[in-house]
A and B are shown apart, each in its own frame.
Chain A
Amino acid sequence: MTFSLTLSASDLLLLLPELFLTVWLCVVLAVDFSFKRIVQEQLAYLTILGLMMTLACLAWFDMTGITGTLFAKMFVVDRMAIFFKVMILLATILVILLSIDYVHRFSFFRGEYYFLVAMSALGMMFMASANDLLSLFVTLEFATFGFYVLVSYLRDDMASNEAGLKFFILGVFAAGLLGYGISLVYGETGKLVFSDMTGANPTTGLVIGFLLIFAALGFKIGAVPFHSWIPDTYHGAPTPVTAFLSIAPKVAAFAILLRLFLVALATFKPAWALLIVAASILSMTYGNIVAIAQRNIKRLLAYSGIAQVGNVLIGLAAGTKMGTDSILFYLLTYLFANLGAFAVIMAISNSLGSDEIEDYRGLNRRSPFLAFAMLIFLLSLAGVPPLAGFIGKLYIFVAAIKEGLYTLITVGLVNIVVSMYYYLIVVKKMYINEPLDSSPIKTTGPLRAVIYVGLAGTLVIGIYPQPFLDWAVSATLMFSNLLGPAASIPPPTAPFGG
């Protein structure tokens, strides 16, 4: 294997979004240092501008169909990578909008905050393109690095420090597992690139290696049994960081999971499907049942996030082209609903200084708009038509039933009902209970913008999903070659069982 690091112009073009964002990050940092009196909001909008331009660049890639690989296939730009990068950038933009009012709570380093957020986004963009074991490790740690700082950004707050410490210790532990797993896999196969590993002998070392890698990625997406850091970290972290943490790393980690399982391990599908099924059932059941007992809305969304990841894993367990489509689509619907819900939480937290569900009493009388938005987001998370979450769930179930995963679907359906209970408890507080204090709640422009984007995304995808489905389907065309007829319809005489 020879590495050739001479980059041609067309190679640089593939890196253009990342390169541009890197340069822009330096600009943001430089502006922050050079102009002492710069208003923090302007810095936020400057960062957003850079992210928007990166987004435009990716849109151009997607439209003109620019794809390719770099660095001996370490770095790949395909339509799936572009899809994930667009989601990550979208989440980052919304999170920065969420942060604008929150940043005033930080006593120092306000400018660096935006830099760190965008840097994590850059790391996650690389994750979406990671195509071998080395880039997997490097990009994963690069992306997480920013989060270690961000989670403990409220330095005077004990909860934030605790969250940071928990996240760091468990994160480093996961990194250790990942490194060990990578070394085992490399030792057994002698290959680094995912696509070269297909057809390797399933030796004990290889199996253990992949299990360790899965554990590390499971930590990132927060699937049971690797979820233990999630509730406390979500609770203690600054709320915009929680919002960021709840969607972007999961999205990026799923990009890697898809490449790992559907490319490198495509031939061992029956073996790992069981693993995913188990993780999915545990995540959905545990997340939903524990969420019932929560009193804090951030913790509630943390546990609901664990359950949502369980739902996404159903699509991975299906392991078909349609399964990957459904994962991409589901993550998109989850992005809008989840960030929208966090925007409402931010608005309430900014004005009441509380995240307790009890303080949502009578929100409908205090701010009908916020209550309605929260209703829509929570119902979308629960999967109620005509909202985006319902289509996402249905798509995943359809993909799974084509593969005959009856147990998994049954558990998923039962969990919809369980989750409805705790989402409706929040709805009950907002709509049915009378407020203790009926002063109206004010929202600011940036938060409103996020809520509007979330509402638009949730309602439009729910009512007319076709363009988004098409986009997800075209993003995973690479898998249709790989999985071949597996994605097609099974014959009607298929034996019933499972």
Chain B
Amino acid sequence: MAEYTLLIILFAPFVGALALIFVSNRQVSLVRGVAAGSAFVTLVASVYLFYAYDPVKGGYQFIQRIEWSRQLGISLHLGVDGIGTPLVLASGILLFAGIFVSWHIKDRMKEFYIWILILAAATIGVFMSLDLFFLYFFYEMSVIPMYLLLGMWGSHTKKYLEMTDPEGLKLRDSVGFIFNFGANSKEYAAMKLVLFLSAFAVAALMGILLIYKFSGLNTFDILVLREKAHFSGPLATLIWLLIFFGFASIAPIWPLHSWSPVGHAAAPAATSMLHAGVLMKLGHFSIIRVAFEILPETTRELMPIAAVLCIFSIIYGGLVAYYAKDTKYVIGYSSSSHMGYVFLGMAALDYISLSGAVIYMFAHAMATGMLFAMAGWVYDQTHTRDIPSLGGLSNRMPFISAAFVIGCMASIGMPGTVNFIAEVMIIVGSWNKYPFQVVVAVLGIVLTMAYLFKMMRGLFYGSMAEKYSHSHDAVAVVDRMPLLLMIMVSVSFGIFPGHLYSVVRSGVDPLIARITRVVPVAEQPTHIPLASSPIAPVSASHKAIAKVTPR
């Protein structure tokens, strides 16, 4: 049973989606039950996976290999390492929470759950793929559900209050070219998201095809390519750039981010949660899995690109978030900004910083999931996301406002949440290499506080407009449970990060050892013996972060 864990995690949502096809839309409780049931199976299995993963042994575990196509050298090769495991867990938690957050959807509920299950399963598939083909397969598969989720259940962006008929633009409609449905509509957001991601995905596909051809191994298997394929010169640079920018667009790195906040704002709450929580991490993860694993030397040479771009991500995203007036724009841009920290952690190519980046992905999934869930709740109650027109909601929604404060604290990185650990690790780990970026990152944290506090005050404190006096708090168990779940995860890993840390380190160590092996020792001031022991807390800074004694 245990060896099939990955298959169970991956296929439970698919099976749930398939089963839902045969359920009538009128049987509301059955639809909810099937969706929640399959999500629960995934959640339980991913929790099991997380604790059953052996960080001492390290490497890829729970490997499944099913031959898929001999001619093309493709097999359904699944396996997780220390980097994939926490992300699978995050996906499982967010899927389960997302099912409950969208509990009250009335319009075409069954189809909503079908698409959200497919979306989550596809993202989970990326996190466990050890085959380039399937990595791309699941990656691209996650994009189309986003289109339908945004288009069918989303809401118009920016001037959504005036937007009554986005189709009313007859003149542009007759031209028929370029987005003929009004630049603030959800259709625009959905189409932009799909075209943007697909355009960059095919760039990544080109990179994958070049790897396939020039490795000469006739296989898409990452583990084989990692061992046997060697790329150098301009070819390696080209492949790396294609892979990096192809996948970084979903991350989203500045200047490829513009689809993301629009998409967040248009999406329904559960979709935003999955989008910001796990879909964006597909970018970082795929870069780590493909570029770091297969092109280690080029990664070492070219990763400074990420270090430069992450400055713009952090500052630009933070500033826009500060001036944005739409709750989801604020959270969306804050996600873009926070993904810059992950890029900083990755760019430093250091044991601590990359581990910090991976933990940050996990931590950000929880924090931003909470914020989007609550922004969705407020929108459902007040039908507006316009911060200046809101206020004083804490009287009406004490639970939501309290949870929102915790979500903001987590997002800022307050001690006691797992975000704090991740942020400190990124900052400490990349200080030696990129001190300037670290200063920017710390400024970014100040900026994060500014816009989150501003939004918090705008939503929940001050005076409340009369028309919102009918709004309700989350009282029912199904409404509170997803928020409590995410808070609990965030806080408990913030206080007891031991297992998470050792799992992540077991994935990061061999990777960094591989990438930095060729660096002369003098240039390698990090204090960790290379790969000799997967988890060896040595540095003082490292001990200060968390009491990690894995063995």
B148/A431 in contact, CB under 8 A: yes
Does B177 lie within 8 Å of A416, measured CB to CB? Answer: no
Q: Whose C-beta in chain A lies nearest to the C-beta of B196? A: A417
From known contacts A293-B177, A428-B187, A496-B234, infer whether A489 and B214 are also in contact, taking CB-CB under 8 Å.
Answer: no
Chain B residues with Cβ under 8 A from A427's Cβ?
A: 147-148
B70 interfacial by beta-carbon distance below 8 Å? yes
- Nearest chain B CB to A13 CB, angstrom units: 32
The reply to whether A293 and B176 form a contact with Cβ atoms under 8 Å apart is yes
Secondary structure at the A interface, as helix, strand, loop or mixed, is helix
Q: How far is it, in angstroms, between the C-alpha of A325 and the C-alpha of B71 when the chains are bound?
A: 10
Contact present for B216 and A428 (CB under 8 Å): no
Are A413 and B151 in contact, CB atoms less than 8 angstroms apart? Answer: no
| Cα distance A394–B143 in the bound complex, in angstroms | 18
**Which one, B137, B152, B212, contacts A386 given CB within 8 A?**
B137
Interface of chain B residues 334 through 392 with chain A (CB within 8 A): none
Q: Please report the C-alpha to C-alpha distance between residue A432 and residue B143 in the assembled complex, in whole angstroms.
A: 16
- Asked if residues A421 and B213 are in contact (CB atoms below 8 Å), the reply is no
Given contacts A385-B140, A409-B209, contact A494 B187 (CB under 8 A): no
Report if A432-B176 is in contact (Cβ < 8 Å); known contacts: A401-B210, A490-B216.
no
Q: Are A496 and B177 in contact (CB under 8 A)?
A: no
- Separation in Å of the B398 CB from the closest CB of chain A? 37
In contact, B198 and A466 (Cβ under 8 angstroms): no
Give Cα A74 to B209, complex, Å: 40
* A379–B147 alpha-carbon span in the complex (Å): 12
A420 sits at the interface (CB 8 A): yes
A410 within 8 A of B: yes
CB distance from A130 to the nearest CB of B (A): 28
Distance of A410 Cα from B238 Cα, bound (Å):
14
A384-412 CB contact bits vs B (8 Å, 1 = yes)? 11100010001101100110100001100
Q: In this assembly, does B29 line the interface, its C-beta being within 8 Å of a C-beta of chain A? A: no
- Contact at A413–B216, with CB atoms within 8 Å? no
Nearest neighbor of B199 in chain A, beta-carbon distance: A417
- One digit per residue, 1 when the CB lies within 8 angstroms of any chain A CB and 0 when it does not, for chain B 151-162 equals 110000000000
Which residues of A sit under 8 angstroms from B72, Cβ to Cβ? Answer: 394-395, 398, 469
Chain B CB within 10 Å, residue with most, of A322, A364, A465, A492 = A492
Within 8 A of A (CB), among B109-161: 111, 133, 136-138, 140-141, 143-144, 147-148, 151-152
Q: Is A295 an interface residue (CB 8 A)?
A: yes
A464 to B68, CA, bound (A): 7
Which of A292, A401, A424 has a CB less than 8 Å from the CB of B147?
A424
- A-B residue pair count with CB separations less than 8 angstroms: 106
Complex alpha-carbon distance, A431 and B187, angstroms: 11
A384, B216: Cβ atoms closer than 8 Å: no
State whether B212 touches A401 (Cβ < 8 A).
yes
- B191: min CB distance to chain A, Å: 6
- Inter-chain CA distance A409–B214, complex, in Å, is 15
Q: Is the CB of A496 within 8 A of B214?
A: yes
Once the chains bind, are B213 and A490 in contact (CB under 8 Å)? yes
Instruction: Give which listed residue, A368, A395, A417, contacts B198 with CB less than 8 A.
Output: A417
Please determine whether A398 and B209 come into contact, CB atoms closer than 8 angstroms.
Answer: yes
Residues of B within 8 A of A398 (CB): 72, 209, 212
1/0 per position for A463-478, CB-CB distance to B under 8 A? 0111001000100000
Q: Given contacts A292-B177, A385-B140, A465-B69, are A401 and B209 in contact (CB under 8 A)?
A: yes
Q: A residues 409-453 with Cβ under 8 Å of B?
A: 409-410, 413-414, 416-417, 420-421, 424, 427-428, 431-433
Task: State whether A413 and B206 are in contact (beta carbons under 8 Å apart), knowing that A379-B144, A491-B216 are contacts in the complex.
Answer: yes
CB-based nearest A residue for B150: A432
Is B191 touching A421 in the complex (CB atoms < 8 A)?
yes
B213–A402 CB distance below 8 A: yes
Indicate if the CB atoms of B214 and A433 lie closer than 8 Å.
Answer: no
Would you call A494 and B176 a contact (CB within 8 A)?
no
CA distance A433 to B133 in the complex (A): 34
A417 surroundings in chain B (CB, below 8 A): 195, 198-199, 202
Contacting pair B71 A432 (CB below 8 A): no
B167-225 with Cβ < 8 A to chain A? 167, 176-177, 181, 186-187, 190-191, 194-195, 198-199, 202-203, 205-206, 209-210, 212-216, 218
The answer to whether A420 touches B234 (Cβ under 8 A) is no
Asked if B235 lies at the interface with its beta carbon under 8 angstroms from chain A, I say yes
1/0 per residue, CB under 8 A from B, across A326-350: the answer is 0000000000000000000000000
Task: A325-B71, A394-B133 are known; give 17 further A-B pairs, CB within 8 A.
Answer: A292-B176, A292-B177, A368-B111, A384-B143, A385-B136, A395-B71, A395-B72, A397-B205, A398-B72, A410-B206, A414-B202, A427-B148, A428-B181, A431-B151, A432-B152, A490-B216, A492-B214
17 residue pairs A–B, Cβ–Cβ below 8 Å: A292-B176, A364-B108, A364-B111, A379-B144, A384-B144, A385-B141, A386-B141, A398-B72, A401-B212, A410-B206, A413-B202, A413-B203, A416-B198, A417-B199, A432-B187, A492-B214, A496-B234
Which 9 pairs across A and B sit closest by C-beta, in order of nearness?
Answer: A492-B216, A413-B202, A432-B151, A385-B137, A417-B199, A401-B213, A401-B209, A385-B141, A293-B176
